[in-house]
Structure 1
Amino acid sequence: MKHVILQALASSLVGLLGATSITAAAQPAAAQTADAIYTGGPIITMNDSAPRAEAVAVKDGKIIAVGAKAEVEKFKSPTTNTVDLAGKTLLPGFIDGHGHVSLTGVQAASANLLPAPDGEGNSIAKIQEILREYAKTEASKKFNMILGFGYDDAQIAQKRHPTRQDLDEVSKDIPILLIHQSCHLGAMNTKALELAGLTAESKDPQGGVIRREADGKTPSGVLEETAFMLNAMAVFPKLNAEQFAQLTVMGQDLYIKHGFTTAQEGRASGSSHSSFVRLAEAGLMKIDVVSYVDMVFADEPPEMKTPWHARMYKNGYRVGGVKLNLDGSIQGKTGYLTTPYKVPPPGAATNYRGYETLPDKVIAAKVDKAYANGWQVLAHCNGDAAIDQYISAVRDAVAKHGMADRRSVTIHAQNVRMDQLDAMKELGIIPSLFGMHCFYWGDWHRDETLGAVRAEKISPAASALKRGMIFTQHHDSPVAQPSAIRILSSVVTRRTRSGDILGADERIGVNDALKSLTIWGAYQHFEEKSKGSLEVGKVADFVVLSDDPFKVDIEDLDELTVVETIKSGKSIYTAAANAKKVGASTLKQFPQQLPQLTGIQWDEPAADAVSQRPRRGIYAFASVPKACGCAGCALGHIVTMGQRDVGSSTR
């Protein structure tokens, strides 16, 4: 571990200087010839000993040579496909530090209401226009509703949420459900409110608010936290196995367009696991997906007892470990802090610090169970108080079960303190940072949630680097689009939406940023020996970018685009073959076309019994002490517990 870290640190300066040292490929074995050779552009290997190469040779989905062009071409035969990069840059495929593939599919099937630069939802009028167009799509007709995802009232010109009256102007007959970018709130039109049974007499549920009109009684259409989640379940359609799989494939495809060849299902449910099993068995997985199953609702998740829990992928899918959620989100003011929020939410006391999701004893018991079973643990912790809970639980588990090579992970670690980084290094905990927050919510954190001093230390990648720690970066899709380019730009520049630099001393260089998206991501998933860098014997997972990230001005990193995604030597996406260019997040409209899936018998159960677990009832969520507030929790409950029978649409 120490050797790996020192190598990584030593390579940082080399990468930043654009080193071009070449390692010649080994002499070809008799009769070994390449299926393809890539050359004609910059090749960034993320291999410390040889950061750059002139060519890469691939056979049967694996790298057989990398280095000087003359040496690599010794593997060429008349049948070898020579791929001219035409000046474009080839790197290892991006590896997801944390996200939610299946839930990204819900985003992909929705109307894109994200504000610029990821969409065009910057005014009520524009949102209405987008929804009217979406009403004409197959997805809208299939689910007999208008579903919008990603609006952000902070970025809307009117600085407010769309109300039921705004949405009634789009349609009074078709239910409309909008999901806020944070997944904490949403909005409905009058028809959707009727389906949910919300009236002037409806009371606010525990942990939620039904916003009212001027009379103080009539629902405005805007719902917060549990009021949104519970009632959205009543409006969201029941999904059969085929529909859930279709959404999963749409999520996978969105990852692919952004250059990811390994993705994470960051809080897998029985439904999502079953969907991935079906797709894997039918040969429909295009990239590798590793699931971490929910441990909040089960001390011993049944998915962990299936053959899918393994270090090796089976047809592109495996279960890697378990996931805990210990608090909410800081931008939503539900993250658990040790020091009060700068501006508390409406109605809260001035000493409001957010809240825990689970008490200390429960967390300790769950982490102990995971360590006793040898399960890798990922824990969602945004606030430093939640991180304290996790560190304490891990420390106790290590004392009882030993360190071993567990690679426990703190997901987000937004408000992590320096003493906590020291403790995490001591305990072998990997921080997976949400560096995109600097761009999306940096101004908000400075002005509303944390104040300037704490905001400047969010996602402290440079501090982790100084401690010799391996860390990863992530997008938490569907909270943000799964864009590695946006991550790269955000962590290198730390610029906010307003253009300010938030915490200049926490910026890192391009080389380390790319490592956090490739080789260190592979390390987090116990896959560093098979992927994450361009080395002989590793899987031929590549991404081709429009330019060399080391050569462009750092302020222009967000202009890079994904030209091609290659999985196991096979091209699975090319920008030239698609109408939309994918850069920092230039998909102004989500795909929305439901894919046709073949090779699956939908009237039969999945291969394992996990898919037969009963659906929790609509009110089961109310039994959770506190809503964790993450996308995986909020949207996951809505999707997997949708209640509405849509019937056959007549539209």
Structure 2
Amino acid sequence: MKTVLIRIFASLVLLLLLVGGGGYVWLLGSEPALPAQQLFYNGRIITMDSGDQIVSAMAVQDGRIVALGSDDDILALADSATVLNDLDGRSLLPGFIDAHGHFPGTGLSAVGIDLSSPPIGAVSSIADIQKLLRAGLSEGGDEDWLFGFGYDDSLLSEARHPTRQDLDAVSANRPIYLMHSSGHMGVVNSAGMRLGGIGIDTPDPDGGMIVRDAKTGEASGLLLEHATDLIAPIAMDFSAIDFLAMIDEAAKQYLAAGVTTVQSGGVDMPMLNGLFLASRLQRIPQRVIAWPLADVNFEKLMNGELNLENFDSDKFTASAIKLIVDGSIQGYTAYLTQPYYRQQPDQLDQDYRGFPRYQQNELNERVTALYCKGFHLALHGNGDAAIDMVIAAIRAAQQSCSRQDTRSILVHAQTARPDQLDAMKVLDISPSFFIAHTFFWGDRHRDQFLGPVRGSRISPMADAVARDMHFTVHLDSPVVPMDVNKLLWSSVTRQTRSGAVLGPEQRVSAMQALRALTIDAAWQSFKEQEIGSLEVGKIADLVLLDRDPLAGDDSLLNFKVDRVWIGGRCYFQRGADQCSEARN
């Protein structure tokens, strides 16, 4: 998903200056008390250590794990001040780690209109979109952008994108911008096009496309990939107050899902500064991993003006540098080696394969420069042609400056072929699979986008297991909701919305899926010494589930998060405003 460009940092600093004299207290989040000692017992503690050990009890001292074992051994450590946590037979795991997402994107509902189709929302037609937009006109003035998000053309009855004329029918004067569910495209109305300087003679930006009417040559309103940069920065220039509202909503959703480490996978400087400040103000309970975008930060990264060490804290890390090589399969912008199975109705080129956002030589130069500077890299590649480009770029970088233990990340890796996985293994490239595609778009991948052969192989997790590769799974939220149950269940069942199983040979076990969401996600971000498993010396980031996630597919899909601890502090208890404690 594209970054949301906001003047967050400057706005927050201005707020702090204006309120002054202690008046900034309302900006601060709350931090629960940290018990000196707490014991967890009478449960199934799924440690995710190298042996997948399961024990019944664990001791935590000052936010770190100090012992694991039997109930008798651990309870013997209690004194009068110890906080006792009776697990009552439930399952305790390491806190879930968002391996790739766009926090606080799931909080967009606080600032925009949700246009999602079932099963997420209720939009099934362009008329539904227009109805919701008209209702939103009551908020704001004629100069304020009306912003909607989450629409999916492939799920609309018209089977097409809205046009600027469809949006002009809502308002010809107020600018309107809709962000596609993939985050790789959007639609703008005529008023918005004027503000963005888009006319009949506006050239396509590199790595992007202004879709035009085949007869008149006029822009249809649909913008692909880098073309969205002409509109998104001004349409989504939210205020600091809006940004904090998004953070609060997103953090609440992630806690309820058991996520203790969130990720913002592709940020510009305003977003990086804003997230870091919000974390320091304790408005974000979770740990945050941010990936600065190479496109907008490259020169500052190379000349040292952007020093990632300045963004290090106990709960914040700016780690991998993100490069976006292609788009999304369901948006027809992923770059494939073979044509799309069924082309879009208005696509005249039947050999259309999507397109890259870089030329190979340009990608090689940028990757090599960052790689040789010592940066950790994360490269978005959905189509197999884009994955070929990523592999070639990493190979060229390694030839220029050999490094060890680089853990380069291939984000999404939707159509990775067996030969590509072999090359990735050699080059120390670790995939992060958007496995929930099997549910949300699996039927369409099979029948429309990729065909039955390629469609059945999306997110080839079993192939990665067979090669003993570290890999992670993610939801790319807000592309789909932060639904850990659906993520794990999709990994194990690969069931589509129609009930079919897409590529049964690529299913993995529940334990493998859980590792991809915990210890392997920590490893992929060089955090495995601190989080990701429950072992002596590690930070007590914990999630308590109401049932055993290893008990079967139904348990994976339907477990509920009862409690969440981050650094030993209890931040969430289901059905309560705050966590309760029991003392010896």
TM-score by length of 1: 0.74
Aligned residue for 1:51?
53
C-alpha distance in 1 between matches for 2:546 and 2:376: 36
SS at match of 2:468: coil
Provide closer, same or farther for how the CA distance between residues 400 and 411 of structure 1 changes in structure 2, counting only shifts above 3 A. Answer: same
SS at match of 1:537: coil
Aligned residue for 1:481?
481
Provide closer, same or farther for how the CA distance between residues 364 and 128 of structure 1 changes in structure 2, counting only shifts above 3 A. Answer: closer
* Shift in Å, 1:471: 0.5
* Shift in Å, 1:246: 4.8
Provide closer, same or farther for how the CA distance between residues 565 and 130 of structure 1 changes in structure 2, counting only shifts above 3 A. Answer: farther
Larger deviation: 468-477 or 233-242? 233-242
Provide closer, same or farther for how the CA distance between residues 335 and 157 of structure 1 changes in structure 2, counting only shifts above 3 A. Answer: closer
Aligned residue for 2:274?
275
Q: For 1:227-238, what aligned pairs fall within 5 Å after superposition?
A: 229=228, 232-233=231-232, 236=235, 238=237
1:256 counterpart = 2:255: yes
1:224 counterpart = 2:220: no
TM-score by length of 2: 0.82
Q: Deviations over 1:555-579 (max 9, x none)?
A: 5632233333221112223331379
Aligned residue for 1:111?
113
Larger deviation: 188-197 or 442-451? 188-197
CA contact (8 A) 2:416 2:459 kept: yes
Provide closer, same or farther for how the CA distance between residues 160 and 404 of structure 1 changes in structure 2, counting only shifts above 3 A. Answer: closer
Provide closer, same or farther for how the CA distance between residues 578 and 192 of structure 1 changes in structure 2, counting only shifts above 3 A. Answer: farther
SS at match of 2:500: coil
Q: For 1:3-22, what aligned pairs fall within 5 Å after superposition?
A: none
* Shift in Å, 1:456: 1.0
SS at match of 2:370: helix
Larger deviation: 111-120 or 441-450? 111-120
Provide closer, same or farther for how the CA distance between residues 209 and 302 of structure 1 changes in structure 2, counting only shifts above 3 A. Answer: closer
Provide closer, same or farther for how the CA distance between residues 68 and 440 of structure 1 changes in structure 2, counting only shifts above 3 A. Answer: same
CA contact (8 A) 2:142 2:174 kept: no
Aligned residue for 1:381?
381
CA contact (8 A) 1:165 1:189 kept: yes
Aligned residue for 2:147?
147
Q: For 1:390-429, what aligned pairs fall within 5 Å after superposition?
A: 390-429=390-429
C-alpha distance in 1 between matches for 2:322 and 2:233: 26
Q: For 1:432-511, what aligned pairs fall within 5 Å after superposition?
A: 432-511=432-511
CA contact (8 A) 1:204 1:210 kept: no
Aligned residue for 2:561?
562
Aligned residue for 1:178?
178
Aligned residue for 1:325?
324
Q: Deviations over 1:226-251 (max 9, x none)?
A: 69725644861534555445544544
Q: For 1:37-116, what aligned pairs fall within 5 Å after superposition?
A: 37-49=39-51, 51-106=53-108, 108-116=110-118
C-alpha distance in 2 between matches for 1:312 and 1:298: 15
* Shift in Å, 1:472: 0.6
Provide closer, same or farther for how the CA distance between residues 303 and 364 of structure 1 changes in structure 2, counting only shifts above 3 A. Answer: closer
SS at match of 2:491: helix
Q: For 1:614-633, what aligned pairs fall within 5 Å after superposition?
A: none
CA contact (8 A) 1:108 1:254 kept: no
* Shift in Å, 1:405: 1.2
CA-atom RMSD, angstroms? 3.4
C-alpha distance in 2 between matches for 1:364 and 1:197: 32
Q: Structure 1: which 5+ runs fail to align? A: 1-32, 580-651
Provide closer, same or farther for how the CA distance between residues 279 and 436 of structure 1 changes in structure 2, counting only shifts above 3 A. Answer: same
CA contact (8 A) 1:563 1:575 kept: yes
C-alpha distance in 1 between matches for 2:260 and 2:165: 43
Q: Deviations over 1:250-294 (max 9, x none)?
A: 444433332211122211211111112322343433111122212
SS at match of 1:576: coil
Provide closer, same or farther for how the CA distance between residues 47 and 226 of structure 1 changes in structure 2, counting only shifts above 3 A. Answer: closer
* Shift in Å, 1:154: 2.4
Q: For 1:148-227, what aligned pairs fall within 5 Å after superposition?
A: 148-161=148-161, 175-187=175-187, 202=200, 206=204, 207-209=208-210, 223-225=222-224
Letter in 2 for 1:504: P
CA contact (8 A) 1:34 1:57 kept: no
C-alpha distance in 1 between matches for 2:141 and 2:90: 41
1:528 counterpart = 2:543: no
Q: Deviations over 1:383-407 (max 9, x none)?
A: 2222222212222322332241111
1:36 counterpart = 2:38: yes
* Shift in Å, 1:488: 0.6
Letter in 2 for 1:111: I
Provide closer, same or farther for how the CA distance between residues 256 and 505 of structure 1 changes in structure 2, counting only shifts above 3 A. Answer: same
Provide closer, same or farther for how the CA distance between residues 376 and 558 of structure 1 changes in structure 2, counting only shifts above 3 A. Answer: same
Aligned residue for 1:17?
none
CA contact (8 A) 1:102 1:272 kept: no
Identity %: 37
Q: For 1:260-339, what aligned pairs fall within 5 Å after superposition?
A: 260-302=259-301, 305=304, 309-310=308-309, 313-339=312-338
* Shift in Å, 1:192: 5.2
CA contact (8 A) 1:34 1:64 kept: no
Aligned residue for 2:342?
343
Larger deviation: 388-397 or 248-257? 248-257
C-alpha distance in 2 between matches for 1:80 and 1:38: 11
Provide closer, same or farther for how the CA distance between residues 368 and 196 of structure 1 changes in structure 2, counting only shifts above 3 A. Answer: closer
C-alpha distance in 2 between matches for 1:311 and 1:531: 22
Letter in 2 for 1:354: G
CA contact (8 A) 1:311 1:320 kept: no
C-alpha distance in 2 between matches for 1:90 and 1:141: 50
SS at match of 2:426: helix
C-alpha distance in 2 between matches for 1:460 and 1:218: 41
CA contact (8 A) 2:268 2:296 kept: no
Provide closer, same or farther for how the CA distance between residues 65 and 242 of structure 1 changes in structure 2, counting only shifts above 3 A. Answer: same
Larger deviation: 170-179 or 85-94? 170-179
CA contact (8 A) 2:104 2:251 kept: yes
C-alpha distance in 2 between matches for 1:450 and 1:556: 31
CA contact (8 A) 1:304 1:319 kept: no
Q: Deviations over 1:322-370 (max 9, x none)?
A: 1112112222122122222212343342222222221222222222222
Q: Structure 2: which 5+ runs fail to align? A: 1-34, 579-584
C-alpha distance in 2 between matches for 1:165 and 1:361: 39
Q: Deviations over 1:480-506 (max 9, x none)?
A: 223222211111111112211110100
SS at match of 1:267: strand
Letter in 2 for 1:316: K
* Shift in Å, 1:99: 1.4
C-alpha distance in 2 between matches for 1:567 and 1:185: 36
CA contact (8 A) 1:34 1:75 kept: no
Larger deviation: 166-175 or 316-325? 166-175
C-alpha distance in 2 between matches for 1:423 and 1:165: 47
Aligned residue for 1:355?
355
CA contact (8 A) 2:276 2:311 kept: no
Letter in 2 for 1:332: G
Provide closer, same or farther for how the CA distance between residues 187 and 371 of structure 1 changes in structure 2, counting only shifts above 3 A. Answer: closer
